A and B are shown apart, each in its own frame.
Chain A
Amino acid sequence: MSSTATSAVKPNKIRGNKKIFTIVVLIVAIVYFLLPVWWLIVASTKSNSGLFFGEHGSLWFANKFALWENIKQLCTYQNGIYWRWLLNSFIYALIGGLLSTAISILAGYGFAKFHFRGKKAFFNLVLGALMIPSTALVIPLFLIMSKIGMVNTMWAVLLPALLNPMGVYLMRIYCQESLPDEMIEAARVDGAGELRTFFQVSLPIMTPAITTVYLLSTVGAWNNFFLPQIVLTNSKLYPITVGLTQWQAQSQAGAASEQVWNLVTSGSLISVIPMVLAFLFLQKYWVGGLTAGSVKS
């Protein structure tokens, strides 16, 4: 109240006790959100026994630094299947994401820029699909895939990921808001066919939305767990999420020789690095995608 003049100049500054309060709250938050990550970083440098009996507790490095040995063991344990899992995850995420993004681009553009019979009903189906929980489809997919002998193949994980109604929804909104009809009309008047208009005029303008949808669908496929866990029994086809939980269960239940806690921790750490980096470097794209639906007026 005392400083209407300054607050008009700097509208977003808070001062005094409130500032201290804010800083304290944020520091507590930072500690809370980083604690497990810090634990994982420390744990992945420990040997199996170091995890239980580390000299400096679980939040600090043990005297023996075993990260390189853990990585070496990841390369040899069960014939280096860990790297196979990581490769599978990349295949499921990158290829599945690419295909589902392509389908979303086409459909979003079609819904935004053409009037066709049945469009309204069709788009209402897309909106309805947004509400259907993806996990409710896992068991039905499993049952139908066992019927036609598709379980235990990469297709069983890749193909269902093509269904991405959220991607269609986001692409449609983007095309409506950022792709002027006049521009497409001008290309048509110039004699360009629909496909040429799409590839040469529309697609370049859609690039930011494409990146966002691709990033989001890739993350979705990368995090996938329920479906691959149900439809795959061949461990060579596992994505990293299913593989690591398998090792966790084995370490928990198995004899001492089967305990590979050190591989679960170092394997977890290595597996999160690509996605964390992608998020850090592509910040502006995921922010756009996460908020596209919410700030729509």
Chain B
Amino acid sequence: MASKSAAAHRDRVAARRGNIWGWTFTIPFGIVFLLFLVIPLVYAFYMSMYTTNVFGTKFTGFANYVRAFTDPAFLGGLGRVLLYTVVMVPIQLGLALIFALLLDAFKNKFASFSRLVIFLPYAIPGVIGALMWGFMYSKNMGPFTTIFELFGMQAPAFLTSSGIFGALVNVVTWQWTGYYMVILYSALQSISPDLYESARIDGASELRIAWSIKIPMCASSLVMVTIFSLIGTLQFYTEPTVLRNQAPTVIDTSYTPNMYAGALAFSYNQPNYAATISFSLGFIVVLFSIIFMRLTKRQSGLEN
């Protein structure tokens, strides 16, 4: 009896200590979470419920959302980032995977040098990357006119309505492929070589081993990287904003949803509608990530 109640007492003390110290350690994050995530989101949602015009501000419920989802500027931007996602994500991940597999099969000094170079753009801010490529694309300052002349060809006009899509895909691919490659490469490193040793003895080719063993073994990393790249692309902002300085007629202010929200809040002074656009975009991104994680539940590393 006595020992039982002593044990119960000890448990109670431990539980109380857990409660007190657990919250003490996590509360600073809780405060930051509340101040810089919950409150802004709630406030943005609240604002999106109102509309301001010359007669004042009045409650309009979901009218702003109806407007957003029938607004060609918002829908156009959304469609554009979806198109970017469909094109860019496979290119980046495909290249990252090829480089990771090659470097994994080809371990020497030259390979580690290549790995460093491919990763280098990640250490350069997106703004500077876009600035550099913007210069490179320029007819007067960039090298492509000369390079293409060498082959007797005319350089493509990058900063025109037909060239801008590819131009932006290229900037982002240059910037992010190395980052994804490093993640995939490390996943490959963690596979035990014993796994493909027997396959090799059975005479399987390197290509076959890569396809049937290595790629399935790093599936969880592939899924994670896809989510990162998906979320990043839907939020497209920095690169088109920087290139817009050089090609204002090709990239308009509603080129992507984030640019549109920024312009509405800043230049057009429509904070309520800007809040609506931001909230809608955030909602769509979360929705996409959840759907994607559900579809690939087994592989995803971001659970529990």
Q: Across the interface, which residues of A come within 8 angstroms of B7, CB to CB?
A: none
A11 to B197, CA, bound (A): 7
A223 located at the interface, meaning its Cβ lies under 8 Å from any Cβ of chain B in the complex: yes
Q: Determine the residue in chain B with the shortest Cβ distance to A230.
A: B262
Q: Which residues of B contact A (CB under 8 A)?
A: 15, 17-26, 28-30, 32-33, 35-37, 39-41, 43-44, 47, 98-99, 102-107, 110-111, 113-114, 116-129, 131-136, 140-143, 146, 174, 178-179, 182-183, 186-187, 190, 193, 196-197, 200-201, 203, 206, 220-221, 224-225, 231, 234-235, 237-238, 241-242, 245-246, 258, 261-262, 265-266, 271, 274-275, 277-279, 281-282, 285-286, 289-290, 301-302
- How many residues of A sit at the interface, in one of the four size bands? 35 or more
Cβ 8 A contact of A131, one of B114, B117, B128, B286:
B286
B21 near A114 with CB under 8 A, answer yes
Cβ 8 A contact of A252, one of B118, B245, B279, B290:
B245
Q: Determine the residue in chain A with the shortest Cβ distance to B123.
A: A279
A268 to B231, CA, bound (A): 27
Q: List 22 A-B contacts (CB under 8 A).
A: A26-B114, A52-B140, A52-B141, A57-B143, A109-B25, A111-B26, A132-B41, A133-B285, A136-B285, A137-B37, A194-B17, A198-B25, A223-B125, A223-B126, A230-B262, A230-B265, A241-B128, A244-B128, A264-B131, A272-B128, A291-B187, A294-B183
A43 to B114, CA, bound (A): 24
- Residue from the set A136, A143, A245 with the largest chain B CB neighbour count within 10 Å: A136
B24 near A110 with CB under 8 A, answer yes
A81 to B239, CA, bound (A): 24
- Residue from the set A119, A127, A290 with the largest chain B CB neighbour count within 10 Å: A290
Whole-angstrom distance from the CB of B40 to the nearest CB of chain A?
4
B136 near A290 with CB under 8 A, answer no
Whole-angstrom distance from the CB of A194 to the nearest CB of chain B?
5
Q: Determine the residue in chain A with the shortest Cβ distance to B281.
A: A136
A135 located at the interface, meaning its Cβ lies under 8 Å from any Cβ of chain B in the complex: yes
A222 to B43, CA, bound (A): 27
A107 near B106 with CB under 8 A, answer no
Cβ 8 A contact of A143, one of B15, B135, B274:
B274
B245 near A249 with CB under 8 A, answer yes
B301 near A136 with CB under 8 A, answer no
A129 near B238 with CB under 8 A, answer no
B127 near A244 with CB under 8 A, answer yes
A116 near B235 with CB under 8 A, answer no
Which residues, 226 to 256 on A, are CB-close (under 8 Å) to B?
226, 229-230, 241-242, 244-245, 248-249, 252
User: Known: A7-B200, A248-B245, A294-B220. Is A139-B262 also a contact (CB below 8 A)?
Assistant: yes
A293 to B301, CA, bound (A): 7
Q: Determine the residue in chain B with the shortest Cβ distance to A115.
A: B18
Cβ 8 A contact of B142, one of A26, A58, A107, A129:
A58
Q: Which residues of A contact B (CB under 8 A)?
A: 1, 4, 7-8, 11-12, 14, 18-19, 22-23, 25-26, 29-30, 32-37, 39-40, 43, 51-52, 57-59, 102-104, 106-107, 109-111, 114-117, 119, 122, 125-127, 129-144, 159-160, 162-163, 165, 168, 194, 198, 219, 222-223, 225-226, 229-230, 241-242, 244-245, 248-249, 252, 261, 264-265, 268, 271-272, 275-276, 278-280, 287, 290-291, 293-296
Q: Across the interface, which residues of B come within 8 angstroms of A25, CB to CB?
A: 98, 102
User: Known: A33-B120, A57-B143, A133-B231. Is A226-B197 also a contact (CB below 8 A)?
Assistant: no
Q: Across the interface, which residues of B come within 8 angstroms of A12, CB to CB?
A: 104-107, 193
User: Known: A130-B302, A139-B278, A261-B141. Is A294-B131 also a contact (CB below 8 A)?
Assistant: no
Q: Across the interface, which residues of A come within 8 angstroms of B200, CB to CB?
A: 4, 7-8, 11
A23 to B114, CA, bound (A): 10
A229 to B118, CA, bound (A): 29
A241 near B125 with CB under 8 A, answer yes
B290 near A131 with CB under 8 A, answer yes
Q: Determine the residue in chain B with the shortest Cβ distance to A123.
A: B26
User: Known: A26-B114, A107-B25. Is A245-B127 also a contact (CB below 8 A)?
Assistant: yes
B22 near A116 with CB under 8 A, answer yes
A194 near B40 with CB under 8 A, answer no
Q: Across the interface, which residues of B come within 8 angstroms of A140, CB to CB?
A: 40-41, 43-44, 275, 278-279
A30 near B114 with CB under 8 A, answer yes
B26 near A142 with CB under 8 A, answer no
Q: Across the interface, which residues of B come within 8 angstroms of A294, CB to CB?
A: 183, 186-187, 220-221, 224-225, 301
Whole-angstrom distance from the CB of B82 to the nearest CB of chain A?
15
A110 to B20, CA, bound (A): 10
A103 to B36, CA, bound (A): 14
Q: Determine the residue in chain B with the shortest Cβ distance to A21.
A: B102
Q: Determine the residue in chain B with the shortest Cβ distance to A141.
A: B40
Q: Across the interface, which residues of A come within 8 angstroms of B265, CB to CB?
A: 139, 142-143, 230
A40 to B258, CA, bound (A): 29
Cβ 8 A contact of B123, one of A1, A26, A43, A272:
A272
A14 near B275 with CB under 8 A, answer no
Whole-angstrom distance from the CB of B201 to the nearest CB of chain A?
6
Known: A103-B29, A140-B41. 18 other contacts (CB 8 A): A14-B105, A30-B113, A37-B124, A39-B136, A58-B141, A59-B146, A103-B32, A106-B29, A111-B22, A116-B20, A116-B23, A133-B281, A139-B262, A230-B266, A245-B242, A268-B128, A293-B302, A294-B225
